[in-house]
């Protein structure tokens, strides 16, 4: 809030959302460090951090998208005071020649932040699968359902912010690495079950 108060003029919504992502960076860095920590005197990674890292990161991304959606909807529908400073209206953006460049830069930086989160989440999914995912149909099914929910959320995030909207892919590139690994996990288990039935 201190940085928002010091900002000159109103923020764009895309700039506000970028600030939110920047505030999540310390969590992502901490989980990346934990996932890559080695057993003292060994080259092996510390065991047991896959599930907790995955849960934290998945919930973090889900909450970020929910907050963007709530802020986006509340801004136009609600008269209650916001926790954040007012962002520019479409009319104000149209009158300010700098907004296109500012918005493009905010979107670019936000997409870079989301790629970092995607990389760490993908590592957490791999670890979670290695630690808990073998012969666990319930878990594989749940991961598949979470991937489906994440894909829908990324599409919504794309609509609201323009993140991942290159080449009209409607957010398919958002969290793509982690979502691919989640899908592979679910499909591998389904393929294994099909072989047992045959």
Predicted confidence (pLDDT) per residue in 99-149, tens digit: 899 999 999 999 999 999 999 999 999 999 999 877 788 999 999 999 999
Quote the tokens at residue 47.
């065991």
Number of domains in the chain: 1
The pTM assigned to this predicted structure is 0.88
What integer is the mean pLDDT of 150-161?
94
Distance CA 74, CA 71 (A): 5
Count the Cβ atoms, other than its own, within 10 Å of residue 142.
12
The predicted structure's pLDDT at residue 198:
46
Which range marks the domain in which residue 71 is found? 2-197
For residues 57 and 85, which has the higher predicted lDDT (pLDDT)? 57
């Amino acid at each position: 809030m201190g940085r928002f108060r010091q900002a000159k003029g109103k923020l764009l919504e895309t700039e506000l959302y970028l600030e939110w992502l920047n505030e999540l960076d310390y969590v992502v860095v901490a989980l990346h460090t934990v996932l890559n920590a080695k057993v003292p005197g060994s080259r092996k990674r510390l065991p047991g951090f896959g599930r907790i890292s995955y849960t934290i990161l998945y919930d973090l991304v889900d909450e970020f998208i929910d907050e963007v959606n709530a802020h986006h909807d509340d801004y136009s529908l609600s008269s209650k005071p916001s926790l954040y400073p007012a962002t520019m209206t479409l009319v104000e953006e149209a009158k300010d020649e700098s907004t296109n460049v500012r918005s493009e830069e905010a979107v670019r930086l936000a997409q870079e932040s989301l790629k970092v989160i995607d990389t760490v989440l993908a590592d957490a999914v791999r670890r979670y699968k290695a630690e808990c995912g073998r012969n666990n149909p319930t878990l594989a099914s749940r991961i598949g359902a979470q991937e489906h929910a994440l894909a829908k959320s990324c599409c919504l995030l794309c609509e609201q912010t323009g993140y991942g909207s290159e080449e009209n892919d409607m957010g398919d590139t958002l969290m793509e690495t982690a979502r691919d690994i989640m899908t592979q996990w679910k499909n591998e288990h389904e393929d294994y079950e099909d072989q047992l039935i045959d």
